[in-house]
Amino acid sequence: MADPSVPPNADEIETAVDEALHGLELEPHETAAILGFANEELSHLQTPETSYYVLGSYRNPYVRRLRKVENELNKRLGAYAFVMGDLREIGLDRLPEFRIRFHLLASYADYVVGVYEQDAGGEVTELGKTSETPYFDKSYVLPRDYCWMTGDNFDGKADVVAAAMTVYDNDDLTDDEKGDEIESLAVEARETGIDVSKDDLFDAIEERDDGDTVSYSWVHINEFRLFELHDRCQPWVEESELRDSVDIVPTPSRHPDWEE
């Protein structure tokens, strides 16, 4: 009889770990520890439920938004959403444990969903991994205030907020002039079908002026653009909009495209 502590798909798990570590030879106790982790944690991803691996920052205030996305996904019937931080560690001193856990969880989850608000922290590494094979086809990104850096027209609320922030930070304008410019931005946005008011823009500016500023490197923007071109990127501006942005992620009733 097989050892009950060894999962039935041990060969698949070992193959995934081998790819994550690029063929590094494991010591026997390391293999046993990894299989023990898989036996406990991966079993939740091998059920009829649709699983969502949610990525993002665990630091305040970002973790609150990360939990919001996790909770929204868990509200779906037949869904199981989770973050790596809630799962137990493997206990490997010699090996890059984060890399192993990430690859195992991403391999067995039906979908990977990333929430982004900054260009620092562990989520930087995660974004690079999800934008590549084999995870790209089942991954979705929800970047705050993201907008592509080319084009003459507003393409969403994030573009309008970014323009309003530029006006607000212009020291050559008086407060009245800033107000007039921002109001003009709101009018122009509504003419293109974007539902935003002058008050909405000032609320967004005030929120970011309290230290909640979003900043991305050109590398990040290019990664988001790739997802955007594949219709798997949904920018958001205010926390109240994050719930709706989750709608871009397929529901449990829909078969994962990456399995087709």
pLDDT at 171: 77
Mean per-residue pLDDT, 152-163: 74
More confident of the two residues 43 and 67: 67
| Average pLDDT value for the chain | 85
What is the band of 1 on the pLDDT scale with cuts at 50, 70, 90? very low
Instruction: Quote the CA–CA distance of 59 and 200 in Å, as a whole number.
Output: 26
84-93, 170-179, 221-230, 238-247: range with lowest mean pLDDT = 170-179
Closest by Cα among 242, 168, 154 to 203: 168
What does the pLDDT look like over 16-29, one tens digit per residue? 899 899 999 999 99
Task: Give the residue among 117, 127, 141 at the shortest CA–CA distance from 234.
Answer: 141
First to last CA, the chain: 35
Judge whether residue 240 has pLDDT over 70.
yes
Label residue 4 by pLDDT band (50, 70, 90). Answer: very low
CB-based contact 138:258 (threshold 8 Å):
yes
- What percentage of the chain has pLDDT greater than the value 90? 43
Mean pLDDT over 237-255 rounds to 85
The pLDDT score that the predictor gives to residue 164 is: 83
User: What pLDDT, in 10s, does the model give residues 82-124?
Assistant: 999 999 999 999 999 999 999 999 999 999 999 998 766 666 6
pLDDT for 222 equals: 86
Band (76; pLDDT cuts 50, 70, 90)? very high
What is the pLDDT at residue 44?
83
Whether residue 211 has pLDDT greater than 50: yes
Distance CA 56, CA 62 (A): 8
| pLDDT score of 87 | 94
> Lowest-pLDDT range, 5-14, 64-73, 99-108?
5-14
Region label for 235, one of left (φ > 0), alpha (ψ between -120 and 50) or beta (otherwise): beta
CA 184 – CA 68 distance, rounded (Å): 33
- pLDDT over 50 (residue 142): yes
Q: pTM for the whole thing?
A: 0.78
DSSP assignment string, the chain = ---TTS-TTHHHHHHHHHHHTTTPPPPHHHHHHHHHHHHHHGGGGSSSSEEEEEE---STTHHHHHHHHHHHHHTSTTEEEE-GGGSPP---SSS-HHHHHHHHHHHH-SEEEEEES-S-SHHHHHHHHHTSTTTGGGEEEEEBT---S--SS--SHHHHHHHHHHHHT-TTS-HHHHHHHHHHHHHHHHHTT----HHHHHHHHHHHHTT------HHHHHHHHHHHHTT-B--B-SHHHHHHHGGGSPPTTS--GGG-
Return the half-sphere exposure (C-beta side, CA atoms, 13 A cut-off) of residue 92. 21
- With vertex at residue 29, the alpha carbon angle to CA 89 and CA 134, rounded to the nearest 5 degrees, is 60
For the cut 90, the answer to whether the pLDDT of residue 54 exceeds it is yes
In the block, tokens 């195992």 appear at 104
Task: Provide mean pLDDT across the span 149-171.
Answer: 72
